[in-house]
Amino acid sequence: MSLLTPLALLSILAIGPLIVAMYLLKLRREERRVSSTFLWRRMVRDVEANAPWQRLRRNWLLLLQLLLLLLLAIALARPFFLTAGISGRNLVIIVDRSASMAATDVAPSRLDAARQQALTLIEQLPEGGRATIIAAGGQMDVLAASTTDRRQLNDAIRSITISAGGSSDLSQALALAAALSSREPDSEVAIISDGNVRVPPEIRVPATVRFFPIGRGADNVAISAMALQPGAAGQTLFIQVTSYSPSPTTRRLDVYLDGSLFNAYDLAFGPDGANDASRVVVTDVPAQVQIAEARLNASPGTDHLASDDVAWAVSNTGAGTTVRIVGPGNRFLETALALLSGVTVTKGPLTAAAASDEVALPQITVFDGVIPDVLPAGNLLFIGPPRSTDLFSVTGQVDFPALRPVTTEPDTQGTSLLRNVSFSDVSVLRAARVEPGIWGRTLVEGDGHPMLLAGEREGRRIVVLAFALQDSDLPLQIAFPLLMSNIVAYLAPGSGVEASQIVPGQPLALVADPSTTGTRVIRPDGRSATAQIQAGQVIYADTGASGAYIIEQLRDDQVINRRRFAVNLFAPEESRIAPAGELSVPQVSGLQQAVTREQVGRQEVWRWLAAAALLVVVAEWLVYQRNGLAYLRQQLRFALATRRQ
C-alpha cells in the first residue's frame, strides 16, 4: 500500500497533541467535598473488581477521538493499492459481449464479471479522465462516447447484455478504439474479454492496450450442428455434439420431435481436440415431423455455457425452390442444381407467355449463354452473357484471365457467396468483359474485369458469372457445387436446408409471394410478431433468441406460405469457452505485442477509511451521550414494567 499525499499524515502530529492537551485540560475534575468517600470507594472498588478495563472507560472519548483523527489523516493521505487496472486519462473500454461471455464459470456469469471489472476501471479513472464504452460482439455498439460523466459510464456498462449470435470479432471495436486513442495522448485501451476473440493482425493501436481476462473454466459440450433433411424413410435427423472440455466427459442428449420426447442418447466424449471429442447422432424420424429439438443434459456445474446446449432443426418439406434453366443445356449445371435438396429444376426456352405468367413463375431463372429480349421477373443468374442487357453491358472479351477474389470488408453477401469456395486454381479460357451497373459488386475479378458479380436491383437479386462453364475447368472443381449452392441460397433466400438454419441476430429473409398482404412471425416463446415486406422479401430481424421461428405469409388472413427457421448458436469459437490468459494486440508504440495484466491501476481506499471515520463519530457521540441513552433505557424499562402491571 502506498500513499498519494503522505504529507497529510503530518496532520496527526499537528492535531494529535492538541486533542490530548484539550483532553487533559478538560480532565481537571471539579473538586467536591463530601461527607465521606466511604461509599464511593466501595462503589468504585466493586466496579473495578468486576471489569479491569473499567479504568479505560473514562478515556473512551479520547481514544475514539484519536482513532477518528488517525482515520481521517490516513484518508487524507489517500492510500491506494496497486491493482491490475489502468493509468491513462483517456480510456477506451471494449467489453466482449459475445455468446461465450454468458458462461457461468465465474459466478454469476462472465459478462457480470466483465461489467464489474469495467466499473472498477471507471472508478480508477483519474479526475477529469474520459472514457468510452464499446460493446463488441455481434453488432458493435458505442454505449458511451468519450465522456467524463461517470454515472453515464456506469449506466452504459450496466446496460451491456449478451449478444446471442455475436461473433467475437474485435476488428471494428479495435479500429474505433485506435481512432479514438490517436486523437488524445495518454490513452489506454482496455479489453475485457474471455480471450476468445479475433484480433485483426493488420491493426496498430496507438495506445497502451491492456487485457483483462475473464473466466476460469473450460467445461462445455455443445450441439455443433443439427439438420433435418428428407431421407429415404421420411426424414433424417443429424445431430453433431462436440465437447470442448479439456477432460473426457459424458452427456445425455434428449431429442424432442414437435415437443414430445423422441429418444435419448448417452454420449461419451474425449477431451477437446481428440478424435472422439465429437459425436454424431443420425436417426430416421417420421416425415410429418416439423420441428426437432435437441437438448444436452449435464449435471450442475459441469457445463458452463447453457446457450449452446439446445438446438433446433426444422423441416421445410414441400417448400422447395424452382429453378428454370434457359439455354442450350449444360450437364454440369443441371447436375449441380439437381443435387441441391429442395430445388426443382425445369428446363426450356423462355417464352413471352411464360415470362408474364406470374403463377408459374420460377424463383430463379438461369440464363446459360443466352440473353432474352425481355427479362422475366424473379431473381436471375447469368452465365457467360453473350451481349448486353438492361442490367449490364458486355463490351468485349477477356482472354485467360487470372481469377482473384476481391477482398472486401466482411460482408454477408460476399462471404455467403464465396463461402468454402476457392477460385485460386480455376483456369478460364475466355470470359465476357462485363461492365456492371452501380448495383453490382465484384466478388471475383480477372485481370481487372469482374468475373463474378452480385447485387440487387429493383427488388431482384442478380448474379453474373462472366465466363461460360465450358470455357473453364470450374465445373471440374470441388468449388463448383459449393458455388452453385451458395448462389442458389443467395438468389432464393430462405430456401433449402442450409437457409433454414441461421445464427442468432441474423435476419430471417425469404422471397415474398407477390400477392402477400400481411405476415405473421411466431417466435420460439410463442409470441407473435410482424415481419417487414421489403423489395420482394419478407424480413424479420429480431432473432436474438434461439429456437424455432415460423414465418407465415398471409393473403386476406389466409395463410398462403409457411416457412420455419431454426435459430441456433452453432459457433465453435463461442462454444470453446476456455479463457485465454493473454491477448496479442499489435500496438504502434510498444515492442511488446502481448499485453497482459500489469499492476498499474490504483485502487484508492479512502472511501472505506471515511466510512470507518463516520462510524467512529457515531460511536463517539453515543459514548458522549451515554447518560441520555441510559436515561432512555431506564424510562423504557419503567414503561414496560408499568404496562406489565
Partner 1 sequence: MSAGQTQPLFDSAFLRKLDRLALLTRRAMVGDIQGERRSPRRGASVEFADFRPYTTGDDIRQIDWNLYARMERFFLKLFVAEEELTIHLLVDNSASMDWGDPHKLTYTRRLAAAIGYVALATLDRVTVTSFAAGATAQLPGVRGKAGTLPLFAFLQRLMPGSTGDLAAACRRYARLAHHPGPLILCSDLLDPHWEDALRALGARPFEITLLHVLAPQELRPQLDGDFRLLDAESGEAVEITADLETLRRYDESLRAWQHQIEMFCHGRSINYVPVDTAQPVEEFILAMLRKRGVLR
Q: Where along the sequence are the contacts to partner 1 (CB under 8 A)?
A: 26-27, 29-44, 46-47, 57-58, 626-627, 630-631, 634
CB 262 within 8 A of CB 273: no
- Pick between residue 306 and residue 623 the one whose CB is nearest to partner 1: 623
- Pick between residue 81 and residue 631 the one whose CB is nearest to partner 1: 631
- Pick between residue 20 and residue 630 the one whose CB is nearest to partner 1: 630
Burial class (CB in 10 A: 0-12, 13-18, 19+), 165: buried
At 397, which helix (H) or strand (E)? strand 392-399
Other beta carbons less than 10 A from residue 502's beta carbon = 21
Min dist. Cβ of residue 77 to partner 1 (A): 34
Burial class (CB in 10 A: 0-12, 13-18, 19+), 113: buried
- Pick between residue 35 and residue 275 the one whose CB is nearest to partner 1: 35
At 460, which helix (H) or strand (E)? strand 460-465
Min dist. Cβ of residue 35 to partner 1 (A): 4
Say how far apart CA 406 and CA 453 lie, in whole Å: 11
| SS3 per-residue string spanning 253-321 | EEEEECCEEEEEEEEEECCCCCHHHEEEEEEEECCCCCEEEEEEECCCCCCCCCCCCEEEEECCCCCCE
CB 97 within 8 A of CB 163: yes
Min dist. Cβ of residue 36 to partner 1 (A): 4
Min dist. Cβ of residue 23 to partner 1 (A): 11
- Pick between residue 39 and residue 529 the one whose CB is nearest to partner 1: 39
- Pick between residue 41 and residue 204 the one whose CB is nearest to partner 1: 41
Min dist. Cβ of residue 129 to partner 1 (A): 52
Furthest C-alpha separation in the chain: 135
Min dist. Cβ of residue 643 to partner 1 (A): 22
- Pick between residue 34 and residue 591 the one whose CB is nearest to partner 1: 34
Give me the amino acid identity at 418: L
- Pick between residue 31 and residue 127 the one whose CB is nearest to partner 1: 31
| C-alpha separations of 409 from 172, 292, 415, 433, 638 in Å | 10, 36, 9, 25, 84
Min dist. Cβ of residue 13 to partner 1 (A): 28
| C-alpha separations of 94 from 166, 202, 522, 550 in Å | 14, 18, 35, 36
Min dist. Cβ of residue 212 to partner 1 (A): 55
Residues 6+ apart with CB under 8 A from 439: 391, 455, 456, 457, 462
Is the omega angle on the peptide bond into residue 108 within 30 degrees of 0, that is, cis? Answer: yes
Classify each residue of 251-282 as buried b or exposed e, where b means 16 or more C-beta atoms within 10 Å of its C-beta: bebbbbbeeeebeeeebebbebeeeebbbebe
Min dist. Cβ of residue 44 to partner 1 (A): 6
Other beta carbons less than 10 A from residue 611's beta carbon = 12
- Pick between residue 42 and residue 347 the one whose CB is nearest to partner 1: 42
Min dist. Cβ of residue 70 to partner 1 (A): 24
Say how far apart CA 511 and CA 163 lie, in whole Å: 27
- Pick between residue 41 and residue 158 the one whose CB is nearest to partner 1: 41
